[in-house]
Structure 1
Amino acid sequence: MKKNIYLLLLLLSTAIFAQQKRLETSIDTTKNKIGAEFKLTIKTSVDTLSKVVFPNLKNIGALEVIRSYPIDTVKKDDRYELIKKYGLTQFDSGKYSIPSIKIFINSKPYMTDSLLVEVANVQVDTLKQKMYDIKGITPVKSSLGDWWKYLLIFALILGIGALVYWLVKKQQKKKIEEEVYKTPIEKATSLLNSLEKKELWQKGEVKEYYSELTDIARNYIEEAIEIPAMESTTSELILGLRAASVRKKMTVSQETIENLERVLKQADLVKFAKSKPLDYEIAEDKNKIQKAILTLDSSIPVEVEIEEDAILNEAQKQKQIQIQLEQKRKRRILIAAASVLFLLLATTSYFIVTKGFTYVKDTIIGNSSKELLEGEWVKSTYGNPGVVIETPEVLKRIDLTKSLPKNGLALIKEMNSFALGGVSDEFYLMVSTYKYKQDSTAVDLKKSLEVTLQTLESQGAQNMIVKQEDFDTKEGVTGIKGYGTFSRVNDKSIGSEKLYYEIVLFSQEGGLQQIMIFHKDGDSYATEIVDRVMSSVELIQLSK
C-alpha cells in the first residue's frame, strides 16, 4: 500500500514538475556593477501549432528593462524552441529579487522562476581606477566630400591669374598707345576712323556714338592745347579755348569755334535730354568735329628752336627717357610682385586646405613646439641604470638634491637627472635615474608614482586627473605609466593654464628610472613629440 502511495506521489510531483518546467529561466550573472546589464533568458519548447506570448515590460520588479531582445526560434524535429531575452539594470546598489513573469502558451499562463541578483558599488580611486575625460563632440563628416575645397583653390588661383593678366594687358595697352600715337592729331585721326568702323549710330546706338565722338575732341584739345577739356562743361571748354587761342596766338577762325560748340551742345542734348538727330545731322556733326580738330591743329604756331631751346629740349628728352626707363622698371617690379603674390596666395591656400589654418599660421608666425618637432632629434643614453631615449634636443644635467627631503636623500646611493626646458615652460621633459643603497627594499612602482604625483601637487598642480596603466618598451620591459591633466597658475599671464602630463617609471635591481613630460593641453605638436619620445624608450639592462 505504501509503495502505491509513494508511486502516486511521485507521478503527481512529476506531472507538476513537467507542467512548471515548460519554462526555463536563467540569468548571465547574479552579481554586477551599478548600471551594468543583467541578461535574463526565458526558454520554452512547443509544437508548431502552439502560440506563445511574451509580455512587453518596462520594469521587472525593481529592475529597469533597458532592452527587450527579439525572440530566437530554433527548430528541433517537429517542435520549436523559443528563446526570449530581457536586458535589466539598476542604478542603486543592493540585493534585488527578479519576480516571476507570466508567459501565455495557447492562452494558458505559466510562471517563470524568480531569481536573486546583487548590484555592487563601483570602487572610485584615482590611483587604482582608470579615469577618462569626457569625449568631445565627434564632427559629422560632410557628405559633400572635399571637392569644394579644391574648387575654392581653383577659383582663387583663377581670380588672381585674371588680376595679373588685366594689370599686364593694361600696361601693354598704355605702352602701345604711347608708341603708336606720336602726336595728339595722329591719335585723334586714328580714333575717328575707328569710331566710323564701329557703325554705332547706324545700329541705333546714337548716345554711345556722340559720347565717343566728343571724348575724342576733348582729349585732343586737352593734350594739344593744354586746357582741362575732359572735366569741363561745354561752356567752360569754349571759354578756355578762346582764351588759349589768344594766349598761344592761334590763327583760328570764329566759325571753327562756333561749329565745335554746336556739336558739343548737340551731344549734350543726345546724352542728357534723349534727343535723336537725323542721320544727315549726325554725319554733319562728325565732319564738323573732324574739321575743327584739323583746323585747331594747323592753327597752333610752330616755335623756331634757338640753340638754347635745343639744349633745353635735349635735356627734356633725356629726362623723358629716364622717366620712361623708370616706368618700365616699375612695371617689371609690379609684374614680379603680382606673380610672387599669386604664387604665395596659391601655396598658402593649398596648405590651408590640406594642412589646416593652424599649421599655416604656426609656420609663418612660428610655434616653439612645432620647431622642436621639426628640428634635429638626438638619441642618447642618460643616467645609471641607463635610459636610451630620443629627444628634440640634448638633455642638460640638473641638480635635484636640494629639492629632495633629507630622509629620502639618505636612501639614495646615486642620482642623475637631465631635462629639456624648465618646469615653468609650456613644454618640459625630464629623465631621472636613482640607485638605492643595498639595504633598501624592492621599489614599489605604484607607490613611487603616487609620491611623484603628490610632489607635483605640492609644487602648485591643481585639479589633477590621474590615469594609470602598464607601459612596455620594445624589448618587453614592463613599467607603469601615469598620465592625465592638471592646472597651474601661469606666471606670464593672469589666470591658470591646463597641462597634460605623462610619467613613466621602471624598476631594476634596487634602481628606479623615471621619465616625466608635461606640456600645454591641446598642443598637437607637443602630443607628437611625446609619442615619438615614448616610442623610442630603451633600458640598459643591469648585469646580474
Structure 2
Amino acid sequence: MKIKIYILFLLFSIGLWAQPKVSTSVNVTKNKIGAEFKLTLKTDVDTLSKVKFPEARNFGALEVIQSYKIDTVKKGSRYELIKKYGLTQFDSGKYTIPRIPVLINGKLSFSDSIKVEVNDVKVDTLKQKMYDIKDIAQVESPMGSWWIYVLVLLVIAAAGFFIYKYIKKRQTIEKEEVIVFKTPIEKATTLLQQLEKKELWQRGEIKSYYSELTDIARNYIEEEIHIPAMESTTSELIEGLRKAAKQKKLKLSNETVENLEKVLKQADLVKFAKVKPLDFEIEEDKKRISNSIVTIHQSIPETVEENDELALWNEQQKELARLQKLKKQKRVRIITTIGIVVGMLLLALLSLIYFKGFDYVKDNIIGHPTKELMEGEWVYSEYGNPGVKIETPKVLKRMNAEKIMPKEAMALLKEMQIFIYGSLIDDFYISVSTVTYKQETQIDLDQAAEGSLKVFEAQGAQNIIVKTEDFNTQKGISGKKAYGTMTVLDKIKGKSTKMYYEMLVFAQNGGLQQITIMHREDDTYGKQIMDRVLNSVELQTTDK
C-alpha cells in the first residue's frame, strides 16, 4: 500500500509552492592573501521547483576559483539545495561579497552581502630558521624486504619443530604410564630400574632421588601389605609393618625391617635437614630398599585364588582400562596435531596481516564477494523496450512488473519490464527498467528519480541523501543522474548498512529507461564495478 500511495502521489499530486529564500554564509571573514573563502548559498524549495545558481568568474572584487557541485538534502517533501563557491583575493584590504542573484522558478532571489577582510602574510626572516635542501630520498626496492618473509617462515618452522619435540616427549611419558603391572612386586622392581636410568643423584639431584626411592618402597608396602604407608611417618610405617607381620604371619627378620628403617630415616634427613650422603652410602641405601622389597615379597604366604572367575574378571577390567587409556591418548594426539596445524596457519595468517594488511588477506585469502564479481566473466546484453545495452558481472533476472507496481499505475502503461541482480540488503545491486506509455506523456526526469527513491524508502531505506546532475551516454543521449547514500536495514540480521547508489534516467519519445546501481559505501571493488557498468550504458531509441 505504501508503494501505491507514493506512486499515486507522484502521478497525481499538486505541489505547494513556498516563497523562495536564499540564505548566505561564509566559512571565515578574515583570511590571508590567496587563501580560500568558501561561500555557501542555500535555498529551501519543493520537488517541482527549478533553481539555477549563477556561474561567474568574479563576485565583486573576489575571484571565483572553484564552483562546487550542488548538494541536495531531502527533507520530507522538500529539498534543500546547497551551492558552494571558492573565492579568493591576492591584494590585502576589506572587500564586500555582493548580493548574488539566484533564479528560482523564473524569478530572481538575492543572497545577502557579506564583508570580508584579506590580510598580508607576515614573514620574519630574522627569526625564521633557514634549512638546506634535503637530499633525494632513496626508495626501497620492493624486493628489499624478502628477508622478512624468510624470517617468518623460519620462525614458523622453529615453532613447529619445538612443538613436535614436546609432543614426542609427552607421548614417551604417556607410553611409560600406559604399562599395566600385574603385581606390586613387578611394579616396584620396574620403577627401581627406571629410577636408576634417570641418574638423578649422579647429577646432584639427591633429594629427588631419595624422594622417589622411598615412594617406591612405601607404595609397594601399601599395595602388598595393605597399610597406609604413603601417609605415615617413618616410625608409624615401621610400627605398622611389624604389626602386619605378626597378624599376617610374614616371615620378616628384624634385619630387614631395620634396613628399611635406616633408608627411610636417611631420606628424612636428606629432605628436611639437607644432609648429603656420600656416593657409596647412596648405593647402599638403594640396595637396602631393593632387598627389603624382595624380602617382603618372599615373606608373604602363598594363597590359592578361590574364585577363578573373579580373577579373570579383574584381569579383563585391567585390560579394558588399558585400552581405554590408549584410545584417550590417541584422541589427545589427534587433537594436538590439529591444534598445531591450526596454530601454524593462524600464525602465517597473522604474519600476512602484519606485513600486507587486513584488506590484502580479506581480498585474497578469506574472499571478497564484489572482488569475485569484478574478476568474473562479464555479460554484455540488451534489456527491455526501449532497449538498454549494458555490461554486467552477472545476467540480470526478469521480474514481474505487475507484482511490483499497483494496478492504477499499470493501467497507464503500455509495457513495463524490470531486470534485477541482487537486492537492497546485498553487497551489490543492479536494476534496469524500461517503460512505454499508452498515450504520449511528458516525462519529468527529476520526478521519475524521486519516484524510484520513494519505492526504496517504502522498502525500508532511510537517511536518503540525493544529488543530481546531467548525464550523457557515449553516443550523446542526454539524461539525468541522481546519486548519493542511503541506510538499508537488514531485518533478519538486525543490522543496518550504508549504501552508495547511482541512478540514470532517460526519456525518449514517450518512453522511460532507468538504470540503478548500489554498493556498500566503503567497497572499492563495488565502485569499480559501478564505473564499468555505467561506462558501458547505451540506449535504443523508441520507435515513433
Q: TM-score range by the shorter chain?
A: 0.5 to 0.7
| Map 1:499-510 → 2, pairs under 5 A | 499-506=499-506, 510=510
1:271 deviates by 1.4
Asked whether the equivalents of residues 152 and 351 of structure 2 are also in contact (C-alpha less than 8 Å), the reply is no
What amino acid is the match of 1:258? E
* Match status 1:91 vs 2:37: yes
* Match status 1:534 vs 2:533: yes
* Match status 1:331 vs 2:329: yes
Instruction: Describe the shift of the 1:190–1:156 C-alpha distance in structure 2 as closer, same or farther (beyond 3 A).
Output: same
2:8 corresponds to: none
What SS is found at the alignment partner of 1:89?
coil
2:440 corresponds to: 439
Instruction: Describe the shift of the 1:252–1:504 C-alpha distance in structure 2 as closer, same or farther (beyond 3 A).
Output: farther
Seq. identity, %: 42
Q: Number of aligned pairs? A: 428
Q: Which runs of 5+ in 2 are unaligned?
A: 1-25, 41-59, 73-80, 85-141
Asked whether the equivalents of residues 370 and 427 of structure 2 are also in contact (C-alpha less than 8 Å), the reply is no
The CA deviation string for residues 227-269 of structure 1, in whole angstroms up to 9 with x for no partner, is 6655654455446645655665533334423332332222122
Q: Which deviates further from its counterpart, 263-272 or 322-331?
A: 322-331
What amino acid is the match of 1:516? T
What amino acid is the match of 1:328? L
The CA deviation string for residues 263-320 of structure 1, in whole angstroms up to 9 with x for no partner, is 22221221122223455544443332222122122223333346x42x4444444444
* Match status 1:383 vs 2:384: yes
The CA deviation string for residues 318-352 of structure 1, in whole angstroms up to 9 with x for no partner, is 44444433333333333223223333343344445
Instruction: Describe the shift of the 1:163–1:498 C-alpha distance in structure 2 as closer, same or farther (beyond 3 A).
Output: same
Instruction: Describe the shift of the 1:405–1:319 C-alpha distance in structure 2 as closer, same or farther (beyond 3 A).
Output: closer
* Match status 1:399 vs 2:401: yes
Asked whether the equivalents of residues 396 and 420 of structure 1 are also in contact (C-alpha less than 8 Å), the reply is no
1:400 deviates by 6.1
Q: Which runs of 5+ in 1 are unaligned?
A: 1-33, 37-61, 66-87, 95-115, 132-142
* CA distance in 2: counterparts of 1:269 and 1:164, whole angstroms: 41
* CA distance in 2: counterparts of 1:222 and 1:316, whole angstroms: 19
| Map 1:85-484 → 2, pairs under 5 A | 88-91=34-37, 117-120=61-64, 122=67, 125-126=70-71, 159=159, 162-163=162-163, 165-176=165-176, 184-185=184-185, 188-189=188-189, 192=192, 201=201, 204-222=204-222, 224-225=224-225, 229-230=229-230, 233-235=233-235, 237-238=237-238, 241-242=241-242, 245=245, 249-278=249-278, 281-305=281-305, 308-309=307-308, 311-351=309-349, 353-354=351-352, 382-387=383-388, 388=390, 390=392, 395=397, 397-399=399-401, 403=405, 412-420=413-421, 429-436=430-437, 439-440=440-441, 448-449=448-449, 452-453=452-453, 456=456, 461-467=461-467, 481-484=481-484
* CA distance in 1: counterparts of 2:361 and 2:225, whole angstroms: 57
* CA distance in 2: counterparts of 1:435 and 1:320, whole angstroms: 88
What amino acid is the match of 2:415? E
What SS is found at the alignment partner of 1:276?
coil
- When normalised by structure 1's length, the TM-score is 0.58
What SS is found at the alignment partner of 1:304?
coil
Aligned CA-pair RMSD: 5.5
**Higher RCO, Cα 8 Å, sep 6+:** 2
Asked whether the equivalents of residues 401 and 409 of structure 1 are also in contact (C-alpha less than 8 Å), the reply is no
1:415 deviates by 1.0
Asked whether the equivalents of residues 440 and 510 of structure 2 are also in contact (C-alpha less than 8 Å), the reply is no
* Match status 1:64 vs 2:32: yes
Instruction: Describe the shift of the 1:386–1:173 C-alpha distance in structure 2 as closer, same or farther (beyond 3 A).
Output: same
Which structure would you say has the larger Rg? 1
What SS is found at the alignment partner of 1:285?
helix
* CA distance in 1: counterparts of 2:225 and 2:347, whole angstroms: 52
* CA distance in 2: counterparts of 1:267 and 1:410, whole angstroms: 106
